[in-house]
Amino acid sequence: MKSENTQFFEIKKILEEKGLVVLRPDEYEDIYELVQRYYKDDALMKWFAGRDKAGIVSEKMFKIAVSFSKESLIYYDSKERNALTIWLHSDVDLKKIFKILKNGGSDIINLGGLNLLKKVIVYEYFANRIKHRQFGKHCWHLFVFAVKDGKAGRYIYSEKMLNPITKYAWENNIPCYAEVNKPEDIPALQKAGFQIRGSEKVPGSDINHYVLMI
């Protein structure tokens, strides 16, 4: 398999050739307004923090995840910013609790107390255990696929935003992973080549966790 750096630069070149706007690390702050708006009604985020704090908690969690991913690919569909995608090159780490605490755990506690942090840790352990079972150690994780126009927009933008990477992954035998908790989010991912690998309940909740892969 190609090295992580080689994958990153080859994919980045493909995205730019397709006219997608790839962000530099110093531009990452620009993404969080769209992330907050998209995830404020997300079932998992509401389970973590309640309806009122779901948006801001999603922002904090995504900042943490991006901060300790070895490679991140973050891009918009165009300068109009109608769609946003974040891919993380993930190392499965069942001890992620320590990274969470080091890279923003105090912010999460301040927002929702220890109960919120406990839910985050339970979820991260649960999700990483499934990822490890499916892929072993390394994969490209579709971490965020957000559009301004909701569900219909996700289906419309799926091909443009996801196909460049899923096609590259398929051709180079590189695993890609995605997880959603709403059945209506699945068709957009299937359109880009993802296949459902299974579903489980998030521990301590009634939320479905659907696992998809390339």
CATH number for the domain harbouring residue 9: 3.40.630.30
Residue pair 108/63 in contact (Cβ under 8 Å)? The answer is no
Structural domain range at position 87: 4-213
- Burial of 159: CB neighbours in 10 Å, binned 0-12, 13-18, 19+: middle
CA distances (Å), origin 106, targets 29, 40, 45, 102, 110: 19, 21, 18, 8, 6
Whats the size of the chain, residue-wise? Answer: 214
Taking the C-alpha atoms of residue 132 and residue 91, their distance in angstroms, rounded to an integer, is: 9
Q: Structurally, how many domains does the chain consist of?
A: 1
Compute, in degrees rounded to 10, the torsion defined by CA atoms 143, 108, 50, 154: -20
What is the pLDDT at residue 92?
47
For Cα atoms 178, 181, 184, give the angle at the middle one, nearest 5 degrees.
Answer: 95
- pLDDT per position as a tens digit, 104-148: 556 666 666 777 778 878 888 888 888 777 766 678 889 889 888
Is residue 205 pLDDT above 60, yes or no? yes
What pTM, to 2 d.p., does this model score?
Answer: 0.83
Taking the C-alpha atoms of residue 129 and residue 144, their distance in angstroms, rounded to an integer, is: 20
